[in-house]
Amino acid sequence: MAIRLACVGLAGALAAACGGRTKAEHVLDPANELPFGLIDTPTQGAQVPTQVMFAGWALDDRGIREVRLYVDAHIAEVVQLNTARPDVSKAYPQYARGTHLHGWTTSVVFYVPGPHTLIAQAVDTDGATRDIGTLAITSIDK
């Protein structure tokens, strides 16, 4: 079953969900599962340099388009899956889709040392999103 949503001159959240367009039709598929995953590194409460590598993984029943990283509620990086994770394939074989490419790694720069909140958000190929991790960390200018 599919639900059709017509976005005609709508304001607010619904218009944003329709990509900001005034006329569009989107098919919402209730069978589409939300993506899921984790941030592996760094860990919660870590003290990190002002430039640090972040790594994790993401899966979805239809595939992952990208992982978005937000620092203090502002987009910092958008990364594609770029790291083989056979451990994730083994743990979730029903989502492996014939590949081990479920991991992501990217560098993030904190321009102001101090406490920060990092959110990783997975986006599936249909555009469904889910936050897959939130970290409170402190960047230290070394």
**Predicted local distance difference test score (pLDDT) of residue 26:** 64
In the CATH hierarchy, which fold is given to the domain comprising 33-140? Immunoglobulin-like (2.60.40)
Three-state SS at 142: coil
pLDDT in tens, 67-93: 999 999 999 999 999 999 999 999 999
State the pLDDT confidence band at 20, using cuts at 50, 70 and 90: low
What pLDDT is attached to residue 7? Answer: 45
Outline where DSSP puts E strands in the chain.
3-8, 23-28, 36-41, 47-49, 51-59, 64-71, 74-79, 83-84, 101-109, 114-124, 129-140
Question: What is the tens place of the pLDDT at every residue in 34-45?
Answer: 999 999 999 999
| 76: β partners | none
Reported pTM: 0.80
Residue entry with tokens 């993506």: 35
Each as own residue / partner, the long-range contacts of residues 85-91 (CB below 8 Å, 24 or more positions apart, any chain) are 85/57, 88/57, 88/59
Task: Locate the domains of the chain by residue range.
Answer: 1-31, 33-140
Say if residues 61 and 40 touch (Cβ distance below 8 Å).
no
